[in-house]
Amino acid sequence: MALIRGTGRPFVMLSLLGILVAMIVATLVGLYVVNEKHAQFSAPGLHTEVWQSYQLHSETHHLIETAERTLAGETGPRHLIQRLGVMKSLLLPLQRTDVFSSLSEPRPEVEATLDTLQHLADEWSSQLSWQDTTAAERVAGDIVQRLPAVLEDTHHVIVAANIAVANQVDSERQDLKRTFRLLAWTLLVLGAGCIPLMLKLIRDHHSAKRLTQELGAFNQALEQRVAERTRSLNERKALLSTILESSPSDVALIGANDQRVFYVSETLRQHSPNPSAFQLRHLFVDSRQYELFQQRLMTQKALDNWEAQLAPRAPYWALLSVRHLQLESQPVWLIWSLDISERKHMERELKQLASTDTLTGLPNRRTFLLRSLKQLQRADRDGRLCAALAIDIDLFKRINDEYGHQVGDDILRKVAQQLDRHLSDLGIVGRLGGEEFAALLPDVSADDAWQIAETLRNAVKAIRTRTEHGDTLVVTISVGIATHHAGATLKQLLMQADDALYRAKTNGRDCCEYFGHPDTATPTA
């Protein structure tokens, strides 16, 4: 609005300037005219025609007197010549002046009188000489005779000069009046022209003032709004900080390229080796894992549930999720980090529980079979030997029946310890269920397997278990041995070992049997 109203302002200012210049010019012209007129009016000889005409009249009279005195012999030609000279000098300006043109109607008698006087003066002057008294008397007589008649006419010259000068002065006064009137009108018109422009300027000034006030009020309102917004933003910022700080997830907002840190949770910062100069790279325990993490972020827009070990000083497992954002026109990573150490621990425990036999601590049936399967595949691939042992505690039911399950459990643990001690380093050993155990031994030949089984059998037999009644129990085991042949399955291998175990049981227990040699059950190494 202010801009629209302000568009006429330069025009108004230019107009005012133009008028001002015109007024100055008009004033200067007026001053010039006044100065010129003043110079004209104060010029020497101005309007002296009246005086000259009086002088002419007076000189004419003097000339007559001088002529009379010459005739009376009181003076000579010298005085006549002087008087005629004076007359001629008075005649000349009166003849040359144009003052008589100012008369309202022509007065030819004036010009005629002046011409007559000029003619007579010239005539008389030509007849006179300084020493010629006779000529002087003759001229004096002529003057006395002819000049008095002209003397009367010089009165007309005086009257005409008076009227003419009065007319001329009046005309000049009128001229000056017209000039001043013109100047006054010019200044008046210019001054009048200024009025609407001044009014417009005053209006504009008032509008500008009002607009300035409105603008001031608007500014104030704006500042108030900005202050409110700032306060609200600060409150939101504080709220956001509280939310972030109390969130179960740690948060970091980091520049994707220059690694500039925009925000980082206090907890996460404290986990960094150098909290005052936080760097994501240093938060990772394994730098290679960080490189991998970064590569994934470069190629993916988002990353979810990335498990990483953080905080080199006190490592813990964290679940990282990342989103790509734009902040200050720069790509940034918004990273959430959730501490999953407890979950990891529980997972490990669950895994342990799921894979281990709780009573003996040995791998359970499922784990044993899984591991054995992999082992057998490796042996098949590499063409290596592999032996399987099926191990069973002899007459275990009787122990349970006679001494109770607790004693039975105790014996199971002790037997398992021996199995672990003698077989774990050689291969895989596990409890298949009840009092049945099995082992898969890679790179073990049939003879070696036999020796191992025998050693184990003796070790178990050496176990002494005291009952609450003070009895000492001795348990024995029977072992079935089978060796792997390329192409055979784990199931087949274990069945073969089981067959051998069955034979050991039927052969009286507390012994080892080898599958495939029913007649020579005990191989001679």
Ligand X SMILES: Nc1nc2c(ncn2[C@@H]2O[C@H](COP(=O)(O)OP(=O)(O)OP(=O)(O)O)[C@@H](O)[C@H]2O)c(=O)[nH]1
| Distance, C-alpha 171 to centroid of its chain | 78
**Using the rule CB under 6 A, is 400 a contact of ligand X?**
yes
User: Which residue, judged by CB position, is nearest to ligand X in the bound state?
Assistant: 408
The answer to whether 431 and 360 have CB atoms below 8 angstroms apart is yes
For residue 370, the minimal CB distance to ligand X (Å) is 22
Pattern 349-388, ligand X, x by CB under 6 A: ----------x-----------------------------
For residue 511, the minimal CB distance to ligand X (Å) is 12
Residues with Cβ < 8 Å from 145, sequence gap 6 or more? none
User: What secondary structure does DSSP assign to 363-406, as a single string?
Assistant: B-HHHHHHHHHHHHHHHHHHT--EEEEEEEETTHHHHHHHH-HH
Phi (first) and psi of residue 430, to 5 degrees: -155, 165
Stretch that binds ligand X, among 18-26, 272-280, 337-345, 390-398 (CB under 6 A): 390-398
**Using the rule CB under 6 A, is 405 a contact of ligand X?**
yes
Of 480, 315, 310, 322, nearest to 394 (Cα)? 480
For residue 408, the minimal CB distance to ligand X (Å) is 3
Hey, which residues between 120 and 149 contact ligand X (CB under 6 A)?
none
**Using the rule CB under 6 A, is 392 a contact of ligand X?**
yes
- For residues 336 and 254, give the distance between their C-alpha atoms in angstroms, rounded to a whole number: 11
269 burial (CB, 10 Å; 0-12 / 13-18 / 19+) is middle
Stretch that binds ligand X, among 14-22, 89-97, 128-136, 405-413 (CB under 6 A): 405-413
Stretch that binds ligand X, among 60-68, 301-309, 372-380, 400-408 (CB under 6 A): 400-408
> Which helix or strand (DSSP H or E) is residue 301 part of?
none
DSSP conformational letter for 518 = S
**Using the rule CB under 6 A, is 395 a contact of ligand X?**
yes
- Helix axis angle for 77-96 and 49-71, nearest 10°, is 160
Rank residues 49 and 435 by Cβ distance to ligand X and give the closer one.
435
Q: Which long-range contacts (CB under 8 A, 24 or more apart) does 102-107 make?
A: 102/164, 102/165, 102/167, 102/168, 102/171, 103/160, 103/163, 103/164, 103/167, 104/163, 104/167, 107/156, 107/160
**Using the rule CB under 6 A, is 394 a contact of ligand X?**
yes
- For residues 89 and 80, give the distance between their C-alpha atoms in angstroms, rounded to a whole number: 14
For residue 436, the minimal CB distance to ligand X (Å) is 8
Instruction: Report which residue type is found at 279.
Output: Q
Rank residues 175 and 401 by Cβ distance to ligand X and give the closer one.
401
Stretch that binds ligand X, among 39-47, 171-179, 228-236, 404-412 (CB under 6 A): 404-412
**Using the rule CB under 6 A, is 8 a contact of ligand X?**
no
Assigned token pair, 117: 């006087």
Pattern 407-426, ligand X, x by CB under 6 A: -xx--x--------------
The answer to whether 297 and 321 have CB atoms below 8 angstroms apart is no
**Residue 49 falls in the annotated catalytic set:** no
For residue 340, the minimal CB distance to ligand X (Å) is 35
Site size toward ligand X, by CB under 6 A: 16
For residue 285, the minimal CB distance to ligand X (Å) is 41
For residue 412, the minimal CB distance to ligand X (Å) is 6
**Using the rule CB under 6 A, is 397 a contact of ligand X?**
yes
Assigned token pair, 64: 């007559």
Hey, which residues between 468 and 507 contact ligand X (CB under 6 A)?
505
Which of 105, 435, 436, 454 does the annotation list as catalytic?
435
- For residues 21 and 267, give the distance between their C-alpha atoms in angstroms, rounded to a whole number: 79
**Using the rule CB under 6 A, is 205 a contact of ligand X?**
no
Rank residues 205 and 405 by Cβ distance to ligand X and give the closer one.
405
The answer to whether 204 and 6 have CB atoms below 8 angstroms apart is yes
For residue 416, the minimal CB distance to ligand X (Å) is 11
Rank residues 59 and 394 by Cβ distance to ligand X and give the closer one.
394
- Helix axis angle for 108-127 and 77-96, nearest 10°, is 150
Rank residues 241 and 406 by Cβ distance to ligand X and give the closer one.
406
Interface positions with ligand X (CB under 6 A):
359, 392-397, 400, 405, 408-409, 412, 434-435, 505, 509
Any idea which residues carry the catalytic annotation? 435
